[in-house]
Structure formats: C-alpha cells, structure tokens
C-alpha cells in the first residue's frame, strides 16, 4: 500500500462512510500517536485503514501484531511512554485482552479499546452482528474496578464518541471501551467531520516541569480536586 505523506489530520467535510472509518478518523482527530491490534472481523477495516492513515499524519507507530494479548500490552507501554493509543477488536479478541485491560485499570493507564461486536460465544459468527459484550466490558477482568463504555448507534456517533472516549480516558486516566456492533461498524451513512478548531481535545495532566524527582509519587492525589494524579511518563521522574 502506498501511503500519501502529510495528509491533513482532520478531514473536515461531509462523507458517506462506515462506522469503522469514523472511529479511525475520530481517533486521529483526538491525537493518537500509536495503534496496535490483531485483525479480526468485523473490526478488520479499522486495522486496515488506521495503518494507512496514521503514518500519513505523522503517527509514531501503527502495527498489526502477533495476537490480542500482545496488542493490549503494547498499548499500555505506549501510553506510559507518552502516546495516546488505540486498539480495536471483536469478541474473541476482547476476551484475550481482559488480563491486560485489568492491568490498565489497576495502573490507571489511559487508552481506548474499540470492540466491534459479533456473535458468540468463542469463535462464534464472524460475519453476524451482535450486542452481547456489554457485561464483559464491565466485568471482563477479575476484581473490583469502575469500567467506562460508550456505545455509538450511528456512523456519526462513531466519530463523536471516539473523540469523547479519548477525552474521558485522558481526563480520568482510565481505559475506555467503545462498544459498537458489527452493523454500526460496517454500515454506511452520511457523516460530518467538524473543523479541527471545533473539536474539543483533552490531554492528560502532567507533572510540573520543576518537579523534584526524588519526591514525586506517581499516584499521589494531594492537591488534585478531581482525585486524578498527574501522569509522568517512563524515564521522566
């Protein structure tokens, strides 16, 4: 595939596209720098398109990796290295990601996981749309943790809620699950991409530049009204 370099980050305009396309454009508009995933229907269009678009807007990495376990753990590492990061999957892959997602919740790691749902259980029905992963999104990993999931019902919402998912993830330092079914992911509708200046983008809080490295504590919420600690990246403090 030939990638045209220096494409605009935000493709402002009205299009007739599907939900998977809209998720990619929403993620790029939000400022993702890295993407890791393993192809799986009906999310494979996300994988294919983001590996074309992200390098063209200056992204750091867009990798199709060996399996779903690797992809979620690479997302965690990329987030702690300072990147906004997206992964995409469907039911069987979402099952494999659960231990990694549990780690992301425990370590308060911002990332977004798009689950384009299909029929199950197990391998299930790869080409059949379903909406059965809601409970898994909430309780997929062991233990007690708050989970956040957004569920777009249209192609337009695939774009809008992807932007919102990244904003929530960055603001609260938490994974956010984007739950779209196969129909929303593959169906085509008119979608309007706003101008870049009209898209609200929130970035994670960072420690002050004059932070004393010997005294910095990664999860100290002292003085944080929202109880969300600033996030220092690997090697900074």
* pLDDT at residue 3, rounded to an integer: 59
Among residues 180, 100, 111, which one has the least CA distance to residue 140? 100
Same domain for 135 and 231: no
Same domain for 113 and 192: yes
* Rg, the chain, Cα only: 17
Same domain for 231 and 160: no
Same domain for 51 and 157: yes
* pLDDT at residue 177, rounded to an integer: 99
Same domain for 209 and 181: no
The answer as to whether 226 is a domain residue is yes
User: DSSP state, 81?
Assistant: T
Same domain for 78 and 63: yes
Residue span of the structural domain in which 112 resides:
13-198
* Burial of 208 (C-beta count, 10 Å sphere; 0-12/13-18/19+): exposed
Residue 108: strand, helix, or coil = coil
Same domain for 151 and 74: yes
pLDDT in 10s for each residue of the chain, 237 residues: 555 678 999 999 999 999 999 999 999 999 999 999 999 999 999 999 999 999 999 999 999 999 999 999 999 999 999 999 999 999 999 999 999 999 999 999 999 999 999 999 998 888 889 999 999 999 999 999 999 999 999 999 999 999 999 999 999 999 999 999 999 999 999 999 999 999 999 999 999 888 888 888 999 999 999 999 999 999 887
The reply to whether the predicted model has a pTM over 0.75 is yes
CA 151 distance to own-chain centroid: 13
Same domain for 43 and 69: yes
* pLDDT at residue 7, rounded to an integer: 92
**Quick one: CA torsion of 45, 102, 178, 163, rounded to 10 degrees?**
-100
At 190, list the tokens: 């008119």
Same domain for 183 and 103: yes
User: DSSP state, 37?
Assistant: E
């Amino acid at each position: 595939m030939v990638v045209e370099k220096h494409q605009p980050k935000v493709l402002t305009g009205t299009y007739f596209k599907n939900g998977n396309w809209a998720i990619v454009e929403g993620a790029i508009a939000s400022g993702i720098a890295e993407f890791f995933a393993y192809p799986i229907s009906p999310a494979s269009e996300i994988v294919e398109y983001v590996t074309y678009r992200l390098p063209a807007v200056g992204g750091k990495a867009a990798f199709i990796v060996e399996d779903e376990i690797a992809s979620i753990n690479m997302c965690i590492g990329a987030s702690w290295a300072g990147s906004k990061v997206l992964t995409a999957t469907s039911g069987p892959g979402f099952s494999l990601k659960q231990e990694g997602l549990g780690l992301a919740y425990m370590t308060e790691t911002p990332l977004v996981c798009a689950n384009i749902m299909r029929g199950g259980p197990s391998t299930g029905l790869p080409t059949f749309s379903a909406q059965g992963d809601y409970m898994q999104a909430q309780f997929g990993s062991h233990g007690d943790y708050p989970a956040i999931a957004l569920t777009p019902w249209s192609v337009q919402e695939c774009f809008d809620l992807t932007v919102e998912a990244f904003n929530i993830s960055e603001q609260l330092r938490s994974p956010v699950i984007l739950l779209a079914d196969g129909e929303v992911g593959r169906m085509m509708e008119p979608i309007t991409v706003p101008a870049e200046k009209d898209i609200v983008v929130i970035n994670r809080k960072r420690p002050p530049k004059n932070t004393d490295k010997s005294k910095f504590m990664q999860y100290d919420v002292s003085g944080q009204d929202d109880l969300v600690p600033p996030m220092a990246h690997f090697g900074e403090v």
